[in-house]
Amino acid sequence: MANAYVYYKKKIALQVDRLNKLLKLNDSKSKTVVLNAFYSIFIKVLNVSVNFLTIPLVLTFLSVTQYGIWLTLTAVLGWFSLFDLGFGNGLRNHLTIAVAKGDFEKGRIYVSTTYAALSIIFGSLIVIFLCIHPFINWVKVFNAPVSMEYDLNNAVLFAICFLFVQFVVRLINTVLLSFQRAAMADLTNALVQVVILIGLFLLKSSNYNSLTAVAVVYSLSPIIIFFVFTFYLFFRPYHLIRPSISFVKRSYVSKLIKLGINFFVIQIAALVLFASDNFIIAQLFAPAQVTTYNVAYKYFSIASIFFTIILTPVWSMTTQAYVEKDWTWIVDSMKKLKFVWAGLLVGGLLQMGVATPLYKIWTNNKVLVPFQLSLIMFLYFVTTNWCSIYSNFLNGVGKIKIQLLCGVIGMVFNVPFAIFLAKYCKLGIIGIPLATISTMIFANIVNLIQYNKIINNNAHGIWNK
């Protein structure tokens, strides 16, 4: 076993070296990005494959309406991710800088303080939620049939309580990203999907066709995986920054919050732009339409998923390059990202050509996706991926004030415009991603202007914040 591991590790290293030579990469930063991307591609293939298998599997024991309600619930769960007040992203940038400077004591303080702060925040939220949960009419919130009231109430209870625990234990992925270990962070997410798939298969075999059972599988699986990785990594390779009560410093909370609160507001804006679609559809139309929308969304999200493979390590590497004033690397990496974006654009066009037959195979003919929705989803992800190139750079260098303002404008504009297009212009569910595309075009223009100012050392005032 050990000999096989060494053999395949050498083979992979050889292939990565060939790829570096092909792309003419000579610097350590680019090589690190490529190494992470190389491993992540295989991990993401596993992740995407498993994720795609869950849809037809769940549809074998949940109705289209039940599944639509579950998708709407998961969208609502995404809203709660904002309660970390941006601590995760604040930790990512501060820890990356500390690691780049070799200051592991400061890194341990940041890690310990973040874990303590989030434990207090989410522990308090669990108590608050347990108190208010019985008084909320979840059937009305999700526009669900009255017959599902008991099952839906329990599903919401388990899903949200377990989610709050997740936000603490999944900080280990932030630590991995700060150490330029994006591939391992992707591995944890892939293993979560594998455990979820196994859990869903067991539900199907045991004839558990309830939302509660699905909620437990989806919500408990990440906790198990993240806890195992947390225990191993903090007691082995990352013991120098292992969280400890003695390293919790209240004065560092303000440092994390100062940067994190800006990320927090941007996350709220992103939530309204990207995570409110399911809820709007469920309210304006029917839960079954949420399923139709999400089939098209997940199909075309493949390009975005693979683009994220590259973008994820670039964020932290950009932070390091910015600290080192390595502007040549930053400019070169941006050019390469645009080249990859162009390749994904071509791939998206090929997806369009085979979308209809693949939808039928994927959903066992249970979900019919209109061509117009496929076209809009293609444009949606083309725009999103382009926007992420510049937002990723700005996140890495910590210049996010304008992103924050654009996000607030988009947040205010997006929902009413989506409702206007979908309902009053009678565009149906395609009006919702159209509204988001319109908002992102404005953000793209502003981000491009700020990027050019920073690169050319002409950023002053708000453009440099």
Other C-beta atoms closer than 10 Å to the C-beta of 352 total 14
Please indicate, yes or no, if residue 13 is contained in any of the structural domains.
no
Q: Give me the chain's average pLDDT, please.
A: 82
Asked whether residue 139 is domain-assigned, the answer is yes
Helix (H) / strand (E) containing 438? helix 431-455
Q: Containing domain of residue 209, as a range?
A: 29-464
Number of domains in the chain: 1
What lies within 8 Å, CB to CB, of 205 at 6+ separation is none
Indicate the residue type of 247. F
374: its two tokens: 């496929």
Average pLDDT over every residue of 68-96: 75
- List, for residues 71-84, the tens digit of each pLDDT value: 778 777 766 665 66
38-57: average pLDDT: 74
Asked, for residue 212, whether it belongs to a domain, the answer is yes
Contact 302, 378 (CB under 8 A): no
Instruction: Measure CA of the first residue to CA of the last residue in the chain; give whole Å.
Output: 52
Question: In this structure, is residue 70 part of a structural domain?
Answer: yes
Yes or no: say if 360 and 301 are a contact pair by the CB < 8 Å rule: no
Which of 81-95, 186-200, 401-415 bottoms out in mean pLDDT, i.e. has the lowest?
Answer: 81-95
Measured CA to CA in angstroms, residue 331 lies from 64, 388, 396 at distances of 47, 15, 13
Geometric angle at alpha carbon 335, from 334 and 341, rounded to 5°: 90
For residue 371, being part of any structural domain is answered with yes
CB 195 within 8 Å of CB 253: no
CA contacts within 13 A on the Cβ side of 157: 16
Asked whether the predicted pLDDT for residue 15 surpasses 60, the reply is no
Q: Which two tokens stand for residue 462?
A: 């708000």
pLDDT band at 28 (very low <50, low <70, confident <90, very high): low
pLDDT tens digits along 396-442: 888 878 887 887 887 788 888 888 888 888 888 888 889 888 888 88
Cα–Cα distance for residue pair 60/54, rounded to 1 Å:
10
> 21 lies in a domain?
no
User: What residue has token string 């995407």?
Assistant: 48
Return the H-helix or E-strand segment holding 261: helix 250-270
Would residue 1 count as lying in a domain? no
In a domain, 10, yes or no: no
Closest by CA to 68, choosing from 295, 368, 302, is: 295
How many other C-beta atoms can be found within 10 angstroms of the C-beta atom of residue 65? 16
Q: Residue 39 — very low, low, confident or very high, per pLDDT cuts 50/70/90?
A: low
